[in-house]
C-alpha cells in the first residue's frame, strides 16, 4: 500500500530529519512509529501527505509516486487518507454532529447520507451522547475521539495519526488508542507516531523506532487477536 524507498529529508538550514529510510506498510496494518522529539516521526507524516518534498528517495501510495502527482490528483489521493492532528482542529462554533457532517459536506455527500452515517460514526467512537454538544464542553479525550470521527467519516483506506495522545491524561489516551485499534480490527490501515512506547505496544501490531532520522528497529506482534471495546 505505502512504500518509502531510500528517503532522505534535509531542510534548508541543513538539518537532516530523515536519512535513507525505507519502509513498506501493508493494507490493514497498525503501525506505531516511535522516537524522541526530532527523530523524524512527523517528517514522515508530512512527506506522505506531500506537505514536504523528500531531498532524495521516493514515496509511493500503491502505484502512484506521491510527489510526482498533479495538484488535482494529489487532492484526490488525500481524500483516501484520513488525518488526525495533535491540536484537534475542531470547528468551535459547530456541534459534535456538525463537525463530522462538515467533513462529509466537503466530500459532497448528500444530506441523506450525512443523517445516516454521522450517528453511526459517533457511536463507533463512543460520542453518540455528545452529538449536540460543542467542542469547548468536551474533555481532551472526547475532542480527540471527535477528531478521529471526522477523519474516518469518508472511509479512508489509510489513517495517519500524529501523536494522537500527546496532550491527554492516561485514561483518555487509552480510550483513544482503543478506538484506533478497533478501526484497525475493522480493516483500516493505521500509521501513528508516538513518544510513549508503552502505550503503543499495548495496542499497535508493528513498532518502528527512529533515532536521528534512521530506522533502528522494526518489530511486529504476530497475533490475529482482536480487541473488544
- Which pLDDT tens digit goes with each residue over 98-121? 999 998 887 778 899 999 999 999
User: If you ran DSSP here, which 8-state letter would residue 195 be given?
Assistant: S
Query: Looking at the predicted structure, is the pLDDT value of residue 130 above 90?
Result: yes
- Contact call for residues 91 and 134 (beta carbons, < 8 A): no
Cβ neighbours, 10 Å, residue 61: 20
User: Where do the DSSP E strands lie in 56-213?
Assistant: 56-61, 64-65, 81-84, 158-162, 189-194, 206-211
Each residue of 157-194: pLDDT tens digit?
999 999 888 878 888 889 889 989 989 998 999 999 99
Question: What is residue 106's predicted lDDT score, i.e. its pLDDT?
Answer: 79
CA-CA distance, 202 to 34, in Å (whole number)?
A: 13
Question: What is residue 221's predicted lDDT score, i.e. its pLDDT?
Answer: 63
Higher pLDDT, 169 or 66: 66
CA-CA distance, 223 to 225, in Å (whole number)?
A: 6
- Contact call for residues 150 and 180 (beta carbons, < 8 A): no
What proportion of the chain, given as a percentage, has pLDDT over 70? 96
* Edge-to-edge order in the sheet of strand 64-65: 16-25, 2-10, 56-61, 64-65
Structure-block grid coordinates of residue 102: 462538515
pTM for this entry: 0.84
Task: Give the CA distances from residue 116 to residues 23, 78, 157, 189, 206, in Å, rounded to whole numbers and listed in that order.
Answer: 38, 24, 21, 24, 34
- Contact call for residues 179 and 127 (beta carbons, < 8 A): no
pLDDT interval class at 146 (50, 70, 90): very high
User: Which structural domains are found in the chain, ordered by start?
Assistant: 1-80+157-229 (3.40.50.300), 87-155 (no CATH)
Phi and psi at residue 161, in whole multiples of 5°?
-125, 110
Amino acid at each position: 500500500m505505502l512504500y518509502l524507498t531510500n528517503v532522505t529529508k534535509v531542510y534548508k538550514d541543513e538539518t537532516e530529519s530523515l536519512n535513507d529510510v525505507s519502509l513498506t506498510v501493508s493494507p490493514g496494518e497498525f503501525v506505531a512509529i516511535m522516537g524522541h522529539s526530532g527523530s523524524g516521526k512527523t517528517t514522515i507524516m508530512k512527506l506522505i501527505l506531500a506537505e514536504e518534498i523528500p531531498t532524495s528517495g521516493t514515496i509511493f501510495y500503491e502505484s502512484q509516486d506521491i510527489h510526482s502527482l498533479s495538484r488535482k490528483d494529489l487532492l484526490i489521493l488525500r481524500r483516501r487518507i484520513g488525518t488526525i492532528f495533535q491540536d484537534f482542529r475542531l470547528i468551535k462554533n459547530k456541534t459534535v454532529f456538525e463537525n463530522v457532517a462538515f467533513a462529509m459536506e466537503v466530500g459532497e455527500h448528500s444530506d441523506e447520507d450525512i443523517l445516516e452515517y454521522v450517528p453511526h460514526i459517533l457511536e463507533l467512537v463512543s460520542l453518540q451522547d455528545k452529538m449536540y454538544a460543542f467542542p469547548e464542553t468536551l474533555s481532551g479525550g472526547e475532542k480527540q475521539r471527535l477528531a478521529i470521527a471526522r477523519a474516518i467519516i469518508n472511509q479512508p483506506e489509510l489513517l495517519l495519526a500524529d501523536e494522537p495522545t500527546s496532550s491527554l491524561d492516561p485514561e483518555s489516551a487509552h480510550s483513544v488508542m482503543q478506538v484506533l485499534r478497533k478501526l484497525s480490527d475493522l480493516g483500516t490501515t493505521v500509521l501513528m507516531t508516538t513518544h510513549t512506547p508503552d502505550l503503543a505496544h499495548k495496542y499497535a501490531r508493528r513498532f518502528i523506532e527512529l533515532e536521528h532520522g534512521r530506522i533502528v528497529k522494526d518489530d511486529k506482534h504476530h497475533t490475529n487477536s482482536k480487541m473488544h471495546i
